[in-house]
Amino acid sequence: MAGMNWRTAALLLVLAVQGGLGAWYVVAKPLMHAPDENEHFIYVMLVHEKRTLPEMWRPDAEGIGQGHQPPLYYAVLALVHAAVGPTIAPGADAHRAVDDAYRVFRLATLVLFGMSTVILAFALATRLAPDDVPLAFLTASFVAFLPMFLHLSTSIANGMAANALCAAVLLVTVACLQASGPIGWRRAGLLGLLLGLAPLAKVTAAPVVAVCGLAMLPIVWRAQRRGLSLALFALPTIVLVGGWCVRNAVIYGDPLAYGGFQESFRGFSGDFEKGVALKHLPTLWASFVGVFDNHSIPPGLYPSWVYLATAIATGAALLAGATLGRRRPRVAGRTTLLFVAALVATAAFFVVSSLSLAHFQTRYLFVVLPVIAFYVARGALAPFRGTGRAVAAVCFTLVPIVLVVWGGWLL
C-alpha cells in the first residue's frame, strides 16, 4: 500500500507541475506561435461551423493548408468548442473571442493529450519496472518537461493526439506481450480500436501502429474466442483508416493524399525542392529539445551550448540505459524487440518524409517519446541505489523544468 501511495503521489506531482507550467505557456505564448497553429485553428472552426471536413488547398481548388490532415483531433476540439468555447461573431469583441478560442483549444490539447501521454508514459514504466517508482517518475518527467513537448502540448497541434494514442498502443501491446496466458477479446478489441484511431490523428502514428499490429497478430490468433478477437482487432483499422483512404481517393485520386499535399506545399513554398530539408540537418537535435517559433527551424530559443550539453547528456544516458542499465530493470526480450522495432520504424519514416517534404523536424519522433524517455531515465538512474535513486530522479527532473521556465521567460 505504501508503494502504491508513493507511486500515486509521484504521478500527481508530475501532473501538477506540468499543469501549472502548461497553463503559463497557454497564456504567455503569442498566438500562432507553433507550427501551422492558425491552419489547425481554422480546421477546427470549419468542422464546428460547417459540420464537414475541409479539403486541402491545391493550385486548382480552394481549401486550407492543413486540409490533408486526418480529422480525429479536430473533431475532438470541435466538440470542446461546442461545449465550452466562446461564441465568435462579427463585432467589436470578435478578436477577443478568437483569442479566447485559441487558448481554450490549447488548454484542451494540454489536458486531453499532453497530460494523458505523461500518464501513459508513467504507466508504461511502471509495467516494465513495478517496484521502481523513481524510474517511472523520471520517465514521466522527461516526457512532461521536454520543452518542445510542453510547447506542442500547449499549442493547437494534431500531433499531440497521435502521441497520446501511440503511447496507449504501446502500453496495451506491452501488457499483451507480458500476459501469462491467452488474452481476452476485450483486450484485443481495445487494441484494435486504438490501432484504428491513431492514424486518424496524424499519419506519423503509422510506424507505431504497423509495428504493434504485426507484433500482436500471433497473440490475437491465440486469443480466447479467436474469431471474435480477430474481428474486433482488425475491423476498427479496416473501417476507420479504410474509410479515410477511400475519401481521399475519391477527392484527390490518392488514398493518402500524399501527392496532393506535395503540390500544395509547392504552392505555398516557392523555394521547394526535393531534399531541401537537408539544409536543416544541423537543427536536428534543436527541434527535439525545443525551438519555439512558427516552423521549428532556426533560430533556436536557447543558446547553442544548451543544445550541445543536452545532446551529450541524453546520448550518454541513452547508451547507459541500453547497456549498463540492463539489470535494473530487465525488460523482457519480446518487449525489447517491440521497442527497437518501433524506434527504427519511426526513425525510418521520419527520414523518408523529411527528405521528400522538407520537414526535418524531430518532433515527429514524439510518437515513441515514452520509449525514449524510459531508456534515458533508466540510464540516468543506473548508478544510484536506494534513497539516492529517488533523490537523483528529483534532481534530474529539475533540469528540463529549468529549461521550460527559461523558455517561458524568453517568449
CB 138 within 8 A of CB 131: no
pLDDT value at position 220?
93
Coil, strand or helix: which one is 284? coil
CA distances from 4 to 1, 11, 39, 43, 375 (A): 5, 11, 43, 42, 23
Supply the pTM of this predicted model.
0.91
Neighbours of 83 (CB within 10 A): 9
φ, ψ of residue 172 to 5 degrees: the values are: -65, -40
Residue 255: how many other CB atoms lie within 10 Å = 15
Q: Is the distance from CB of 171 to CB of 124 less than 8 angstroms? A: yes
| Phi, psi angles (nearest 5°) of residue 110 | -60, -50
Helices (H), 29-158: 37-50, 72-84, 94-109, 115-128, 133-144, 147-153
Q: Which grid coordinates are listed for 268? A: 505555398
Can you read off the three cell numbers belonging to residue 103? 487558448
The span from the CA of 200 to the CA of 248, in Å, is: 13
DSSP state of 362: G
pLDDT at position 65? 79
**Adjacent-strand bridge partners of 61:** 58
Radius of gyration of the chain from Cα atoms?
21
Residue 89 pLDDT? 67
Give me the pLDDT at residue 91, please.
Answer: 65
Q: How far is CA 18 from CA 149, 164, 289, 296, in A?
A: 11, 15, 16, 22
Give the domain ranges of the chain: 23-410
Contact present, 121 and 174 (Cβ < 8 Å): no
Per-residue pLDDT at 256? 79
CA gap 19, 17 in Å, rounded: 5
Q: What share of the chain is helix, strand, coil (3-state, %, to 5)?
A: 75, 0, 25
- Report, as ranges of residue numbers, the positions in the chain whose pLDDT lies below 50: 1, 3, 268-272, 274-275, 295-298, 325, 327-331, 358
Q: What is the pLDDT of residues 176-203, one digit of tens each?
A: 998 878 899 999 999 999 999 999 999 9
